[in-house]
Every structure is written in structure tokens, then in C-alpha cells.
Amino acid sequence: MYCPKCKSENTRVLDTRVVENWKLVKRKRECENCFHKFTTFERIEFPKFFVLKSWWKKELYNRDKLENSILMACNKRDIDIDRIEQMIIDLENSWASNKNAISSKRIWKDILSELKKLDEVAYIRYASVYHNFSNKDDFIEFIRES
């Protein structure tokens, strides 16, 4: 593992912890060159699957894209990052199980459902992108229907 500060290859593990029901390994490390401390995470790699976009276009699932969109919706909210990570892992498990492809619509609906349980403001923020709200009335109508 390279040090993110000085790029040295000489790093050592200070502490290792298994988290999220054995799905993630968290390691605290220290660079032996500059003594910078940092944390790394090892996660189980999920099977690759495709996302069916509109007009039946297929796209390889991109976790970073999904995670960034969720984090943007949760920005400045008091939500534990570990809860968001667990939510994504649980959703990925359900999407990847025995499937070659999943529709983007299903992904959006599943995320909205989980965000609604997690935080109402994040839920509305995420929905505003999906439903392409253009004014305050769109928000009000969506909130009334929820």
C-alpha cells in the first residue's frame, strides 16, 4: 500500500478491524517514511452487472457514480457515513443476486425507498433529481404524494 502523502511503499498496519458483518476490513496504517497515518478499506468485490438505461441501452454498473449521487443528497445532513455504506452494500447484494442486468428505474426506486427510511431531506433531494423538479410546486406536490 502506498502512502497517500509521500507515495512511499513502506507502510505498516497499526490496526485491523472487521466491520459490517464481515463485509469490510478497515485498516489503520502508518507510513514508515513520513509517519503519515491513514485508513484503508477492503471490500468484497461484487459481481459485475449491467444497468438497463432508457431506450434499452446497457451500461456497466458504476458504484462510484451511485455513491456520489447519494452522498450529494445526504450532504450537510447528520447521517453516519457507515449507514450510507451499508445501505449501498445491501442494495448491491439485492441487485447483483442472480441477475445479469437491472433497470435504472429499479435502482432509483430502491434508493428512494431506502433514503426515505434514512432521512426525509436526503430522500426529497434525491427525488428532485430523478423527477426533474423545475419549481417549488413540484417539490410541494411530491411531498404531499409521499
Domain count, the chain: 2
Residues 6 or more apart from 27 whose CB is under 8 A from it?
13, 14, 15, 16, 17, 39, 40, 41, 42
> pTM here?
0.68
pLDDT at 85: 86
Residues 25 and 73 in one domain: no
Residues 103 and 138 in one domain: yes
The three grid cell numbers given for residue 88, joined into one nine-digit string: 449501498
Query: How far is 122 from 6, CA to CA, in rounded Å?
Result: 37
Residues 51 and 34 in one domain: no
Which residue range is the domain that position 94 belongs to? Answer: 46-145
CB 66 within 8 A of CB 88: yes
Residues 74 and 119 in one domain: yes
In the predicted model, residues of the chain with pLDDT beneath 50 are none
What does pLDDT average to over the chain? 88
Residues 56 and 71 in one domain: yes
Residues 6 or more apart from 138 whose CB is under 8 A from it?
128, 131
